[in-house]
């Protein structure tokens, strides 16, 4: 036991999970002040953060007789679910409410109804003994756990397509790497070292390998695109300087382009005839 947790790995995982759950607040702050354009925004990571915490806490809490018997580690999932719900509400407000109150209300209703509906489902099907539903929710949780390691609040496809070095993604990537590394260490210890572990979380071990790679990828993309953007700026500055120092060259090039266009026009006219 370590401060009420099973071992020190569980305690570290608890702390890093909370830190990672707090990082979307930076995204919400930038969204509030209009720093981010809508094309760079994606809610998938934050939605999965909420779903992952909500699913894991409910399935764990409803399997025990008393609240005090809940594993302290599960409360980081409760915190993640609560913060995720708040982030989703703020996201809907800042993105949709000002433009369309009706659309925002529809999204709020969907969020609340689906959350309550899932709670009722879990309440009725999860038992103290592990059954089909327990395994189903665990594998659903793995999917959400992996997808929450996308850039929290950012559209990764848009970033890659446009080669954008989005500096705000580094907050999530840094704490995400800490979090996934801590959980990877916990899963490795539970699977291969701790002989007293009743359940071997091999699925968590594999999932966190993927998550670590996803967080490292965010760093790689940022620094590669940053270098690309710097090179592009330097090339533009070089071209501008050359035009200033040798204006005759740019005039000559412009005249050549006009001559080529004039030559093409008769050719196109002849082909048309």
- Sorted by sequence, the CB contacts under 8 Å of residue 9 that are 6+ apart come out as 182, 185, 186, 189, 190
Residue 114 tokens read as 């689906």
Q: Which domain holds residue 258?
A: 233-272
What is the value of pTM for the model shown? 0.83
b/e burial code for range 199-211 (CB count within 10 A of at least 16 → b): eebeebbebbeeb
What is the pLDDT at residue 200?
Answer: 85
- The total of structural domains in the chain comes to 2
Q: Kindly report the backbone phi and psi dihedral angles of residue 165, in degrees, each rounded to the nearest multiple of 5, phi listed first.
A: -90, 80
Select from 160, 134, 147 the least CA-distant residue to 40: 160
What is the pLDDT at residue 83?
Answer: 97
Of 31 and 259, the structure prediction assigns the larger pLDDT to 31
Q: Is the pLDDT of residue 175 over 70?
A: yes
Model confidence band, residue 251 (pLDDT cutoffs 50, 70, 90): very low
What is the pLDDT at residue 147?
Answer: 96
Contact predicate 166/222, CB 8 Å: yes
One domain, residues 44 and 162: yes
Mean pLDDT score of the chain: 85
Model confidence band, residue 260 (pLDDT cutoffs 50, 70, 90): low
The domain boundary residue, chosen from 193, 208, 225: 225
| E strand residue ranges, 14-170 | none
Instruction: Look at residue 150 and give its three-state secondary structure.
Output: coil
Select from 57, 165, 41 the least CA-distant residue to 118: 57
One domain, residues 113 and 195: yes
Of 259 and 49, the structure prediction assigns the larger pLDDT to 49
Residue 135 tokens read as 């395994």
One domain, residues 204 and 246: no
Between the ranges 176-180, 237-241, 248-252, where is the mean pLDDT highest? 176-180
Neighbours of 263 (CB within 10 A): 9
In whole angstroms, give the CA distance from residue 49 to residue 51: 6
One domain, residues 168 and 240: no
One domain, residues 253 and 212: no
pLDDT digits (tens, 9 = 90+) for 185-194: 999 999 999 8
Contact predicate 13/187, CB 8 Å: no
Lowest pLDDT segment from 59-68, 152-161, 194-203, 260-269 = 260-269
Contact predicate 147/44, CB 8 Å: yes
One domain, residues 111 and 139: yes
pLDDT digits (tens, 9 = 90+) for 6-15: 889 999 999 9
What is the pLDDT at residue 264?
Answer: 45
One domain, residues 67 and 115: yes
Select from 188, 147, 144, 170 the least CA-distant residue to 225: 170
Q: Is residue 3 part of a domain?
A: no
- What count of residues does the chain have? 273
One domain, residues 52 and 186: yes
Q: Is the pLDDT of residue 245 over 70?
A: no
């Amino acid at each position: 036991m370590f401060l009420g947790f099973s071992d020190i790995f569980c305690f570290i995982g608890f702390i890093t999970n909370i830190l990672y759950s707090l990082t979307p607040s930076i995204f919400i702050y930038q969204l509030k002040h209009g720093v981010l354009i809508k094309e760079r925004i994606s809610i998938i990571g934050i939605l999965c953060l909420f779903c992952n915490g909500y699913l894991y806490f409910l399935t764990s809490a409803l399997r025990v007789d008393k609240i005090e018997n809940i594993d302290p580690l599960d409360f980081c999932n409760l915190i993640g679910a609560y913060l995720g719900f708040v982030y989703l509400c703020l996201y809907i407000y800042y993105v949709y409410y000002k433009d369309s109150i009706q659309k925002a209300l529809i999204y709020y209703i969907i969020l609340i109804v689906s959350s309550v509906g899932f709670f009722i489902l879990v309440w009725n099907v999860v038992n103290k003994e592990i059954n089909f539903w327990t395994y189903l929710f665990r594998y659903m949780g793995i999917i959400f756990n992996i997808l929450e390691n996308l850039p929290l609040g950012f559209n990764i496809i848009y970033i890659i397509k446009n080669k954008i070095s989005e500096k705000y993604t580094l907050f999530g990537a840094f704490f995400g790497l800490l979090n996934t590394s801590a959980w990877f260490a916990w899963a490795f210890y539970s699977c291969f070292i701790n002989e007293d572990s009743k359940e071997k979380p091999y699925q968590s071990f594999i999932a966190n390998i993927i998550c670590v790679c996803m967080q490292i990828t965010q760093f790689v993309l940022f620094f590669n695109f940053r270098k690309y953007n710097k090179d592009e700026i330097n090339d533009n500055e070089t071209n501008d300087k050359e035009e200033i120092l040798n204006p005759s060259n740019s005039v000559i090039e412009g005249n050549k382009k006009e001559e080529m266009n004039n030559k093409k026009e008769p050719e196109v006219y002849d082909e048309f005839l």
